[in-house]
Amino acid sequence: MANMDYPDRHLVNAAIGWLELHAPAEARAELEAVSPAHAFHPDTLAAWWRVHAAEQRWDEALRVAELEVMSAPEAMSGWVDRSYSLHELQRTAEARDALLPAVKKFPEASLIPYNLACYACRLGNPTEARQWLLKAIARGEKAEIKALALEDPDLAPLREEIALW
């Protein structure tokens, strides 16, 4: 949390702790106490996104994720958060399109091609989904990604095939 002084840093850390305890209302209270000077800090925004996601308030999550990308375009989390919010709003084609530029921006990340695989599968393109999933495996830990994919409802149409990998 560079460039964030106490007590705001403490408030954001406390909010994250509450989120890990599945207590979004308490996290919200901590974040509401952050000073205006740090209200739009990337770490504050990322914590707010997690609060909205935990509360399944996807319109608000999308607004925060847009601010995340604007305030810290070099951080992968905003890109992923924005696309995930769009997907949860049943705007999966937009989620895919918004995440595509991040493939080159974050060449080591496996989460981006993984999410693109999920979106492609939901959009009825299993061939594209398979290609993205293989890219995710090439960038990450195969066993971990395979285990995740086997449980992911977005990838259910590919489950039997994934099990054979």
Rounded to a whole number of angstroms, the CA Rg of the chain reads 17
CATH number at residue 48: 1.25.40
Output the six-digit token pair for 35: 């000073």
Residues 80 and 35 in one domain: yes
Which of 91, 122, 140 is the last residue before a domain boundary? 91
One-letter amino acid at 105 equals K
CB 64 within 8 A of CB 49: yes
Contacts of 61 (CB under 8 A, 6+ apart): 49, 52, 53, 81, 84, 85, 88
Is 1 a residue whose pLDDT tops 70? no
Residues 23 and 85 in one domain: yes
Is 163 a residue whose pLDDT tops 70? yes
In a domain, 73, yes or no: yes
Would the pTM of this model clear 0.85, i.e. be above it?
yes
Percent of the chain with pLDDT over 70: 99
**Residue-level pLDDT at 2:** 66
**Residue-level pLDDT at 64:** 98
**Residue-level pLDDT at 57:** 98
Is 123 a residue whose pLDDT tops 60? yes
125-128-130-132 Cα dihedral, nearest 10 degrees: -130
pLDDT, average across residues 109-138 = 97
What's the domain range around 20?
A: 1-91
